[in-house]
Amino acid sequence: MVLVARPLTLSSGMTLENRVVKAAMEEQLAGTGQQPDERIERLYRRWGAGGAGLLITGHVMVDRRALAQPGDIVLDRASDLAAFRRWVSAAAPTPLWMQINHPGRVVLRDTGALALAPSATRVDIGTLSSFYPTPKPMTGADIDTVIERFATTAGLAQDAGFAGVEIHAAHGYLLSQFLSPLVNRRDDEWGGTLHNRARLLLRIVDAVHDRVKPGFGIAVKLNSADFQRGGFDVDDAGRVIEWLEGRVDFVELSGGSVEALATAGHTADDRTLEREAYFLDLAARLVDRTAVPLMLTGGIRRATVAERVIERGFALVGVATALAQHPELPQRWLAGEDAPVAPPRSALPSKLMRAAAVQAAVTGRLHALGHGKDCSP
């Protein structure tokens, strides 16, 4: 049997039928009231029938005043749970987990969204920095509210039938901003030492635990590194994973942020981008140090690479872009086909523009699938 075809029982008690996980991709398909509608259902019907062992939604916002993108879905007390239940049904029989997120300072200035952050440090991406506002440093009350919002969204996700949540602490969003010594300049209990910087994530994990009933999955998506000099690095990731031991079903490892583009699979240097499973060497250092099941995501586009990831000790393989291109890819991998998928490319002159173009093309593909159009990937 191929390694990715082996079932995995998680600490929360649920068994995944295989090791291939559809990683989070922000769909930007919110309908009225930032709710999911029939386009999301159509999209997840494809993935639900595609053979993955687990589907993780694109990030769902915990605060409707703070959206990373105008098309982001929100789940809060004002949401209609029936729309979220239909989302879960569309994905069946594959279990669906909701990724929950707060963007912190990564909101577009022109949208007027609330920009919160550990400190008043603005996103620095050169001439394009002006797209982002200078964020408001969070007060103790703001922090308590954010913890409560994550717990509320997780509880509502369980009520709607989701089988788990993944707390997004990667890619430069709020929880990753707290973890980063470059963004988090606080000198109170929420800043300074790594343990202080991780406090918000750990408190949210605990608050989610307390809110949900047993049997509900909890995972964290964490950067294996931010790829910024002086930023959150692989040793920091190792220690945070240690603190998460016993509290989560698995930790998904990714990398980068809006300031150092490994986000969405576009690493800062193009040679790395050409490589498959490009965080493997870095993240493999963590596998040997922890008993927490780890999931590796980034650049996995064919079965032989997925097999190598499991062989190296990862519990799960996360696939995003290739599953937008071919929603039924896991079925082919499980049947023993290598089924390689070529990465989307852009010839634009700057790294930032290339990354934006590829991201837009993948989002376009999700929208086409959501409209029932299966045009060429």
Ligand X SMILES: Cc1cc2nc3c(=O)[nH]c(=O)nc-3n(C[C@H](O)[C@H](O)[C@H](O)COP(=O)(O)O)c2cc1C
What's the angle, vertex CA 216, arms to CA 213 and CA 219, rounded to 5?
130
Q: Is 362 a residue that touches ligand X (CB under 6 A)?
A: yes
Choose which of 26, 63, 249, 307 interacts with ligand X (CB under 6 A). 26
Give me the least distance between CB of 24 and ligand X, in Å please. Answer: 3
Q: Measured from the CB atom, is 33 or 364 closer to ligand X?
A: 364
Q: Measured from the CB atom, is 191 or 318 closer to ligand X?
A: 318
Give me the least distance between CB of 188 and ligand X, in Å please. Answer: 28
**Neighbouring-strand partners of residue 317:** 20, 296
Rounded CA Rg of the chain: 19
Q: Measured from the CB atom, is 174 or 191 closer to ligand X?
A: 174
Which two structure tokens, joined as six digits, stand for 143?
């922090």
**CB-CB contact of 152 with 78 (8 Å):** no
Choose which of 99, 158, 228, 267 interacts with ligand X (CB under 6 A). 99
Give me the least distance between CB of 301 and ligand X, in Å please. Answer: 7
Q: Is 257 a residue that touches ligand X (CB under 6 A)?
A: no
Q: Which residues within the stretch 294-313 sit at the binding site for ligand X (CB under 6 A)? A: 297-300
Residue 254: closest CA among 288, 202, 298, 314: 298
Taking each helix axis from N to C end, the angle separating 81-91 and 38-48, rounded to the nearest 10 degrees, works out to 30
The span of 132-140, 193-201, 234-242, 315-323 binding ligand X (CB under 6 A) equals 315-323
Helices (H), the chain: 38-48, 81-91, 140-159, 174-179, 194-211, 234-244, 270-274, 280-287, 303-311, 321-325, 329-334, 351-370
Q: Is 39 a residue that touches ligand X (CB under 6 A)?
A: no
Q: Measured from the CB atom, is 191 or 283 closer to ligand X?
A: 283
Give me the least distance between CB of 139 and ligand X, in Å please. Answer: 27
Cβ contacts of residue 319 below 8 Å, gap of 6+? 20, 21, 22, 23, 52, 297, 300, 301, 306, 329, 330
Q: Measured from the CB atom, is 88 or 264 closer to ligand X?
A: 264
Q: Which residues within the stretch 49-78 sit at the binding site for ligand X (CB under 6 A)? A: 58-59
Q: Is 254 a residue that touches ligand X (CB under 6 A)?
A: yes
| CA–CA distance, 301 with 9 (Å, rounded to integer) | 25
**Rama region for 26: left / alpha / beta (φ>0; ψ in -120 to 50; rest):** beta
Q: Is 359 a residue that touches ligand X (CB under 6 A)?
A: yes
The span of 115-123, 140-148, 239-247, 291-299 binding ligand X (CB under 6 A) equals 291-299
**In 10 A of CB 77, how many CB atoms?**
9
Tell me the per-residue interface mask from 204 to 243 with ligand X, x by CB under 6 A, - otherwise: -----------------x----------------------
| Strand, helix or coil for residue 137 | strand
Choose which of 19, 64, 168, 354 interacts with ligand X (CB under 6 A). 168
**CB-CB contact of 168 with 254 (8 Å):** no
Choose which of 240, 319, 334, 339 interacts with ligand X (CB under 6 A). 319
The span of 9-17, 24-32, 212-220, 224-232 binding ligand X (CB under 6 A) equals 24-32
Q: Measured from the CB atom, is 191 or 286 closer to ligand X?
A: 286
The span of 45-53, 167-175, 309-317, 349-357 binding ligand X (CB under 6 A) equals 167-175
**Half-sphere exposure at residue 192, Cβ-oriented, CA atoms within 13 angstroms:** 5
**Neighbouring-strand partners of residue 250:** 219
Q: What is the DSSP letter of 265?
A: G
Residues at the contact surface with ligand X, assessed by CB under 6 A: 23-26, 58-59, 99, 168, 170-171, 221, 254, 264-265, 297-300, 319-322, 359, 362-363
